[in-house]
Homo-oligomer: A and B are copies of this chain.
Amino acid sequence: MASPASRFTSAFRIANRRYPALRCATLSRARIGQDHIRSFASSPRWQIRTKEMNDDLLKDLKVNQGRLMEDIHYTCQWGTGERWGDAPTETGMSRLALSDADKAARDWFVQTTEALGCKVTIDAMGNIFAVRPGLRNDKPPTFVGSHLDTQPTGGRYDGILGVTAGVEMLKVFADNWVETEYPVGVVNWTNEEGARFPKSMVSSGVWAGDIPVEDAHNLREVHPGIATMASELKRIGYLGTTPASHEATPMAAHFELHIEQGPLLEMANKKIGVVTGVQAYKWFTVNVTGRDTHTGTTDLKSRADALLTASKMILHSHRLATANSALASTGILNLKPGSTNTVPGLVSFSLDIRAPKDTTVAKMKDLVLRDFPLIASGEDVDGSNHGCTPSLPLTVDIVEDFNSPTTTFHSDCITSVNQAAHHILGPNSHNLVMDMTSGAGHDSVYASKRCPTSMIFVPCREGVSHNPREFCKEVDCALGAQVLLESVVRFDRMRDERRVSWKQEPWTV
């Protein structure tokens, strides 16, 4: 019997090749050959085990940058968005959750992971779990995951990088005949963006037990549609029979690779962000009610102009955010009746408040609840009426739609990511890796409620995201995928070490 090292090297040489036909399940199974396919029924022992890999061996477990980029751009054929440059890949994305384009991307994910020997489970929220067996399949898999849906004017990396990097990890494992101690999975979460069905991360939220599945199923697509999540899941064939629950589909850990979506890594010339947690945020809907009147015949003092008042509120929320080192943003605004010569009587807008600390978000909420009614009633709040004509009073109604407290990720996962990043980046790594807090919510927030979790951030150009121009360099995509892969291997190894030394697995649900 050869030593583990030589077995690994040999397997690596044999298997390190491209699988161009992977997009078709039947074909790719044939190409790879049944002997390459891992299965839950039989696990031949001549493959390399993660526990046997030392750091040098780990170094050889290389992500294929070209293949990863090919997958990213190949899947971006479904839901192509606005063009921003001349190159074929210089378009944004518009792949709303559960649309036909999303279905096509999902089909690709199912076929590709099945071709790589995974067992695919679809739950009642359409979450797709692809699991590659390990040695101890009675235990929960170590998952990596993200989402394939995008914003209506989004880019090619947000979510997509995380899922395709997971698929690339499966390919590297297949190439190298890697045998993990525990099963490893890749999950595609449904409607992470909350752009079509207005609750972000809703499906990981159901999985975590924080959102009732009925509420999620009844979510209606944003104006002007009438479809619900349930009707669209059914329509595209992704209403699974497995309950959407951490009990039905347990995870030992959840790792997520994501573009930063902010400018900090780029500004600091860093390559990898080790994400230790996610900032707190709350979403509100603010309804301002005035009175529709004719723009030409109603003098300024006889108006109850809901849009003018909403403008004061939006500006004031920005001032409050400035004063409290928080973020305040309005991304949606609808008004009625919507005619050039009618003063709007009703304006409804979203308010997204974020800060690293729960206490700051709570304070911002208190200030908004105190000040918006004053502004509506016509009082001057911090100069909001400077230069204005006093008008008739309006009313405001503020509803809190969503609350995501500060999330702190798990030290075991953070350690795995940290070690992987420093190992991969070598001697200069201390200049290239930084700990950071995520400004955005991710499915990892809900995952972290039910299993150890961490995230890996890579820089994106000028911090721009939720925009067709969102861009992450190929080398950065690949580096992030490499850190993701190695984090999973390190975590898998750690699980086994603890099993041996502690005689237990703390993460088993």
Task: Check A297/B153 contact, CB under 8 A, given A314-B308, A339-B331.
Answer: no
Tell me the A299-341 residues at the B interface (CB within 8 Å).
Answer: 299-300, 302, 305, 307-308, 310-312, 314-315, 318-319, 321-323, 327, 329-333, 335-341
Contact between B318 and A354 (Cβ–Cβ < 8 Å)? no
Q: Contacts of A319 on B, CB cut-off 8 Å?
A: 386-388
A180 to B352: give the CA distance in the assembly, Å: 67
Interface residues of A in 277-317 (CB under 8 A from B): 279, 281, 283, 291-300, 302, 305, 307-308, 310-312, 314-315
Report whether B387 and A466 are in contact in the complex, using a CB–CB cutoff of 8 Å: no
Take A315-B315, A327-B296 as given contacts and tell me if A340 and B350 are in contact as well, using a CB distance cutoff of 8 Å.
yes
The answer to whether A340 touches B295, judged by C-beta atoms less than 8 angstroms apart, is no
Cα distance, A463 to B343, chains bound together (Å): 13
On whether the beta carbons of A283 and B340 are closer than 8 Å, the reply is yes
A332 and B339 within 8 A (CB):
yes
Give the residues in chain B near A327, CB-CB below 8 Å. 295-296, 298-300
Q: Is the CB of B315 within 8 A of A344?
A: no
**A204 → B minimal CB distance (Å):** 15
A-B contact pairs, 19 of them (CB 8 A): A153-B336, A153-B337, A200-B340, A261-B296, A262-B299, A263-B302, A291-B464, A293-B465, A294-B465, A297-B438, A297-B439, A299-B327, A300-B322, A300-B327, A308-B318, A319-B387, A322-B387, A331-B341, A343-B466
Stretch at the interface among A107-115, A128-136, A191-199, A233-241: A191-199
B residues less than 8 Å from A307 (CB atoms): 314, 330-331, 333
How many of chain A's residues have a CB under 8 angstroms from any CB in B?
A: 76
Q: Contacts A296-B352, A307-B333 known; list 6 others, CB within 8 Å.
A: A194-B339, A261-B294, A263-B298, A279-B296, A293-B464, A297-B439
Q: A435 on the interface (CB 8 Å rule)?
A: no
Residues of B within 8 A of A335 (CB): 332-333
Given the contacts A311-B314, A464-B293, A439 and B298 also touching, CB distance less than 8 Å: yes
The answer to the question of A382 belonging to the interface, with a C-beta cut-off of 8 Å to chain B, is yes
With a cutoff of 8 Å between Cβ atoms, the chain B residues found around residue A337 in the complex are: 151-153, 195, 466
**Distance (whole angstroms) from the CB of A387 to the closest CB of chain B:** 4
A411 within 8 A of B: no
Q: Which of chain B's residues have a CB closer than 8 A to the CB of A331?
A: 295, 307, 338-344
Which B residues are CB-close (under 8 A) to A311?
310-312, 314-315
A224 interfacial by beta-carbon distance below 8 Å = yes
Residue of B283, B291, B294, B305 touching A262 (CB-CB under 8 A): B294
The reply to whether B195 and A322 contact each other, CB–CB distance below 8 Å, is no
Q: Is A43's beta carbon under 8 Å from chain B?
A: no
Query: Distance in Å from the Cβ of A189 to the closest Cβ of chain B?
Result: 16
Query: What residues on B are CB-neighbors of A330 within 8 Å?
Result: 307-308, 344
**Contact between B297 and A467 (Cβ–Cβ < 8 Å)?**
no
- Chain B residues, Cβ within 8 Å of A211: none
Q: Could you tell me the dominant secondary structure of chain A's interface residues?
A: loop
A interface list, Cβ under 8 A from B = 151-153, 193-195, 198, 200, 222, 224, 260-263, 279, 281, 283, 291-300, 302, 305, 307-308, 310-312, 314-315, 318-319, 321-323, 327, 329-333, 335-345, 350, 352, 354, 382-383, 386-389, 438-441, 463-467
Q: Which residue of B lies closest to A152 (CB)?
A: B337
Cα distance, A463 to B323, chains bound together (Å): 41
Cα–Cα, bound, A91→B291 (Å): 16
Distance (Å) between the CB of A9 and the closest chain B CB? 41
A260-B327 Cα distance, complex, nearest whole Å: 45
**Contact: B302 with A329, CB < 8 Å?**
no
C-alpha gap A300/B323 in the complex (Å): 11
* B-chain residues with CB within 8 Å of residue A329 when the two chains form the complex: 295, 305, 341, 343
